[in-house]
């Protein structure tokens, strides 16, 4: 019997030991990339990328990454494909997965990517949904480890919207053993069910703070995101008012640990969720964070298609 296909639809889909493997493998892949060494483990494999929302980093990191692994890429958008003319997601999944080896989707509801995966013959990767952004958190954790060593036992402060990034950070904290402080305005809280590994809020390991400065106290990493995520644009004006005190600034960074890092998945709006002083300052690692999307996703695609690879990891 063929083993079930492995998908990556949310952070909770992998165990801690799989993350340990992936992070080590990504470090190896990054070193080889920097040394201009070929790493063609996915020769002749094809990645289909489906974007139902805009993207810069996800598009470039998956596309460049797949070519660097020796494979090729097909890029689809909803407007440019029959998805925009109401072809059912199940039929799209059946067709695309007969012609390609792996699929990355950026879409709206998590239920939509889950439905695609149900009808796909090949692994499916979540490139962002309304609920989760697992590839980004994988890159963020890789970046933290590069700069500061293991993340277990550390404290991450999430400041801003209780969105796809916040839910994914909460899942990662429960899986990888770090503490998550979350501060959101009233009405924009993290949904405990989405944030939990068990899907019913039963393993809640993060703590809510009404005051964003209190959430940053003693943090090893302070991180934030846009006040209005893609798909929520109609709420923009209301959100600008509600989030006014959730701008990561020098006062917030001052109560974090002196060696605290700042991260933002980007794109950023200087003067809204973060000041220019912080995002362009010495504690910010946002450019490494963006670059690392590519290295971790190369490890992820390789793992989903080939499983664990023996080899040098040191
Ligand atoms: N951080 C991130 O996913 O960026 P893009 O929207 O540009 O892909
Ligand atoms: N939370 C943001 C992340 C963008 C990469 C959004 O969903 O738009």
Return the best residue to mutate from 130, 137, 161, 225 for the ligand 2 pocket (most ligand atoms within 8 A of CB). 225
Taking residues 264-282, report their average pLDDT: 98
Q: How far is the CA of 137 from the centre of ligand 2 (A)?
A: 12
Whether 266 shows a pLDDT value over 70: the answer reads yes
Distance CA 166, CA 164 (A): 6
Taking residues 116-141, report their average pLDDT: 98
Complete domains list, the chain, with CATH: 11-133+291-306 (3.40.50.1370), 136-289 (3.40.50.1370)
Taking residues 285-292, report their average pLDDT: 99
Q: Mind telling me the catalytic residues?
A: 106, 133, 136, 225, 265, 293
- Give the pLDDT confidence of 27-47 residue by residue, as tens digits: 999 999 999 999 999 999 999
pLDDT reported for residue 1 = 67
Label residues 54-90 b or e (16+ Cβ within 10 Å = b): ebebbbebbbebbebbebebeebbbeebebeeeeebe
Return the best residue to mutate from 130, 293, 296, 297 for the ligand 1 pocket (most ligand atoms within 8 A of CB). 293
In the chain, what percentage of residues exceed pLDDT 90?
95
Q: How far is the CA of 277 from the centre of ligand 1 (A)?
A: 22
pLDDT reported for residue 4 = 86
Whether 139 shows a pLDDT value over 60: the answer reads yes
DSSP 251-305: HHHHHS-TT-EEEE-S---BTTTB-HHHHTSTTB-HHHHHHHHHHHHHHHHHHHH
The distance of Cα 24 from the centroid of its chain, to the nearest Å, equals 18
Give the model's confidence band at 201: pLDDT under 50 very low, under 70 low, under 90 confident, else very high: confident
Indicate if ligand 2 lies below 6 Å from the C-beta of 226: yes
- Give the pLDDT confidence of 151-185 residue by residue, as tens digits: 999 999 999 999 999 999 999 999 999 999 999 99
Whether 188 shows a pLDDT value over 90: the answer reads yes
User: Residue 290 CA: which ligand 1 atom is closest?
Assistant: 1
Whether 77 shows a pLDDT value over 60: the answer reads yes
User: Residue 106 CA: which ligand 1 atom is closest?
Assistant: 8
pLDDT reported for residue 314 = 40
Distance CA 169, CA 163 (A): 10
Mean pLDDT, all residues of the chain: 96
Q: How far is the CA of 247 from the centre of ligand 1 (A)?
A: 20
Q: How far is the CA of 28 from the centre of ligand 1 (A)?
A: 24
Whether 312 shows a pLDDT value over 60: the answer reads no
Q: Poorest-confidence range of 56-60, 200-204, 258-262?
A: 200-204
Indicate if ligand 2 lies below 6 Å from the C-beta of 242: no
């Amino acid at each position: 019997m063929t083993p079930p296909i492995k998908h990556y639809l949310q952070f909770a889909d992998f165990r801690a030991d799989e993350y340990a493997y992936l992070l080590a493998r990504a470090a190896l892949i990054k070193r080889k990339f920097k040394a201009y060494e070929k790493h063609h483990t996915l020769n002749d494999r094809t990645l289909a990328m489906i974007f139902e929302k805009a993207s810069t980093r996800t598009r470039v990191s998956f596309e460049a990454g797949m070519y660097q692994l020796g494979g090729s890429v097909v890029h689809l958008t909803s407007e440019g494909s029959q998805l925009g003319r109401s072809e059912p997601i199940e039929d799209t999944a059946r067709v695309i997965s007969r012609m390609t080896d792996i699929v990355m989707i950026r879409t709206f509801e998590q239920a939509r990517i889950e439905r695609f995966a149900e009808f796909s013959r090949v692994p499916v990767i979540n490139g962002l949904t309304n609920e989760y952004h697992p590839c980004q958190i994988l890159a963020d954790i890789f970046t933290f480890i590069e700069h500061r060593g293991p993340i277990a036992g550390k404290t991450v402060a999430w400041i801003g919207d209780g969105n796809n990034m916040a839910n994914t950070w909460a899942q990662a904290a429960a899986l990888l053993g770090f503490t998550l402080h979350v501060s959101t305005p009233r009405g924009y809280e993290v949904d405990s069910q989405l944030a939990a590994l068990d899907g019913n809020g039963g393993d809640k390991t993060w703590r809510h703070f009404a005051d964003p400065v209190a959430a940053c106290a003693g943090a090893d990493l302070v991180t934030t995101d846009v006040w209005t995520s893609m798909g929520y644009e109609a709420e923009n004006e209301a959100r600008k008012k509600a989030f006014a005190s959730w701008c990561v600034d020098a006062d917030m960074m001052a109560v974090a640990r002196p060696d605290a890092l700042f991260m933002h998945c980007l794109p950023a709006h200087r003067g809204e969720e973060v000041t220019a002083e912080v995002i362009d300052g010495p504690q910010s690692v946002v450019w490494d964070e963006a670059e690392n999307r590519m290295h971790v996703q190369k490890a992820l695609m390789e793992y989903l298609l080939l499983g664990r690879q023996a080899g040098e990891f040191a």
